[in-house]
């Protein structure tokens, strides 16, 4: 059976959690978004970029009892009850150890097509009810939406999940559209870190900088924790670049690190506040966004005080 190709519907960013009787709420997953098509014998999974990735995840074969359908969902690696993007990246290679140690799960959260019939114009609740009755298979999960956004957010914070997605009751599915009917609320932390350098700007940032290179004091040098290149206005880029050029020292303030990019080092005086999703095992922050400069004395910002071991890290 030939199934239609659907592009994933996208959510708009929302500044904070909320509850509303006209909305349904579900967790936001830390994985790879995928639209899965199953014709009864062959499975395909297309990502947001259009890449076909089913061959990477041979364990994602639906139950033989599942009729031909198209599912929207997320490919994740579950660890300790949470989706681990770092473990999913480690699984990218089809090695025996990757298949054994990091099996993937497909979390299905919408049903777009079933038994030869498109469902995208049906209300959200009808699609969810039909999805709930399908026998998907052993490597598949479903999470029932809730009407209590505040209660879900407590779970998100308590378990340090990716965030939550709110979906308007009665809304249709709009393939490829970033719709106001879906809202995503990210669960972020904040860290203060020392600016130890910057990377050269490219493209539209030629003449300013690409990213601030950040670290925390560990002994007499900075331990590199990552770069932040988003959250700047054009005015910010120009003003910050001018200030950075006046601070350039002769040597890098960072400990040697094979992953540290080529940088223009600066005197480690400025302190940046950065929102981020979480820390990797290597001690880098993920999904950073610049929030502004802080007044803290740079010498007080150590790996012990600001790194991932702190209570809210």
Determine the pLDDT at residue 97. 67
What per-residue confidence (pLDDT) applies to 61?
Answer: 93
CATH superfamily of 189-306: Nucleic acid-binding proteins (2.40.50.140)
Q: How far apart are CA 219 and CA 223, in angstroms?
A: 9
Residue with tokens 């997320």: 74
Q: What is the pLDDT of residue 93?
A: 60
28, 167, 192, 291: the catalytic one is 28
Q: How many CA atoms lie within 13 A of 223 on its CB side?
A: 17
Could you tell me how far CA 170 lies from the centroid of its own chain? 27
H-run or E-run covering 152: helix 149-158
What is the DSSP code string of 221-271? EEEEEEEE--S--HHHHHHHHHHHHTT--SS--BPP-TTPPP-EE--TT-E
Contact (CB, 8 A) for 216 and 194: yes
Choose among 278, 187, 272, 277: nearest CA to 232: 272
What is the rounded distance in angstroms from the CA atom of residue 116 to the CA atom of residue 72? 16
Which residues is 108 bridged to in the sheet?
Answer: 73, 142
Identify the pLDDT of residue 92: 65
- Residue corresponding to tokens 């026998």: 135
Q: What is the DSSP string of 52-93?
A: B-GGG-TT----TTPPSEEEEEEEE-EETTEE-HHHHHHTSS
Q: For the full predicted model, state whether its pTM sits above 0.75.
A: yes
Q: What b/e sequence results for 84-111 when a residue is b if at least 16 CB atoms lie within 10 Å of its CB, and e otherwise?
A: bbbbbebbeeeeeebeeebebbbbbbbb
Q: Which of 301, 298, 292 is nearest to 247 (CA)?
A: 298
Q: Say which residue the tokens 């030939």 belong to.
A: 2
Distance spanning both ends of the chain, measured CA to CA: 49
Buried b / exposed e over 253-285, threshold 16 CB at 10 Å, is: bbeeeeebeebbbbebebbbbbbbbbbeeebbb
Show me where the domains of the chain are located.
10-186, 189-306
Catalytic residue list contains 262: no
| Domain 10-186, second-level architecture | 2-Layer Sandwich (3.30)
User: Count of CB atoms within 10 A of residue 58's CB?
Assistant: 12
Taking a C-beta distance cutoff of 8 angstroms, is the pair 306, 222 a contact?
no
How far apart, in whole angstroms, are the C-alpha atoms of residue 139 and residue 12? 29
**Identical topology for domains 10-186 and 189-306:** no
Residue 89 pLDDT: 79
Q: What are phi and psi of 204, to 5 degrees?
A: -70, -10
**Per-residue pLDDT, 313:** 53
Query: What is the reported pLDDT for 26?
Result: 97
Rounded to whole angstroms, the Cα distance separating 244 from 81 reads 43
Residue 144: its pLDDT value, please?
A: 87
- Per-residue pLDDT of the chain (313 residues), as tens digits, is 689 999 999 999 999 999 999 999 999 999 999 999 999 999 999 999 999 999 999 999 999 999 999 999 999 999 887 888 888 877 766 666 667 788 999 999 999 999 999 999 999 999 999 999 999 999 999 988 999 999 999 999 998 899 999 999 999 999 999 999 999 999 988 999 999 999 999 999 999 999 999 999 999 999 999 999 999 988 899 999 999 998 878 799 999 999 999 999 999 999 999 999 889 989 999 999 999 999 889 999 999 989 986 544 5
């Amino acid at each position: 059976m030939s199934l239609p190709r659907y592009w994933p519907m996208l959510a708009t960013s929302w500044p904070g959690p909320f509850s509303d009787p006209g909305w349904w709420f579900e967790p936001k997953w830390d994985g790879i978004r995928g639209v899965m098509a199953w014709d009864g014998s062959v499975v395909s999974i297309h990502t947001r970029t259009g890449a076909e990735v089913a061959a990477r995840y041979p364990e994602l074969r639906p139950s033989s009892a599942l009729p031909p359908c198209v599912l929207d969902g997320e490919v994740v690696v579950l660890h300790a009850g949470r989706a681990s993007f770092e473990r999913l990246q480690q699984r990218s290679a089809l090695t025996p150890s990757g298949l054994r140690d990091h099996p993937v799960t497909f979390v299905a959260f919408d049903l777009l097509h079933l038994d030869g019939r498109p469902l995208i114009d049906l209300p959200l609740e009808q699609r969810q009810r039909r999805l709930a009755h399908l026998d998907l298979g052993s490597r598949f999960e479903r999470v029932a939406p809730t009407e209590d956004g505040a209660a879900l957010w407590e779970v998100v914070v308590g378990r340090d999940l990716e965030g939550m997605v709110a979906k308007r009751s009665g809304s249709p599915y709009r393939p490829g559209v970033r719709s106001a009917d879906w809202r995503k609320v990210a669960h972020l932390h904040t860290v203060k870190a020392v600016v130890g350098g910057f990377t050269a700007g490219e493209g539209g940032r030629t003449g300013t900088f690409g990213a601030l290179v950040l670290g925390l004091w560990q002994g007499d040098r900075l331990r590199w924790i990552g770069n932040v290149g988003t959250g700047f206005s054009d005015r910010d880029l120009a003003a910050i670049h001018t200030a950075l050029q006046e601070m350039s020292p002769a040597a890098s303030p960072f400990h040697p690190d094979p992953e540290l990019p080529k940088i223009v080092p600066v005197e480690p005086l400025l302190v940046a506040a950065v929102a981020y999703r979480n820390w990797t095992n290597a001690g880098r922050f993920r999904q950073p966004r610049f929030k502004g400069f802080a007044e803290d004395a740079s010498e007080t910002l150590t790996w012990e005080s600001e790194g991932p071991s702190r209570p809210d890290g």
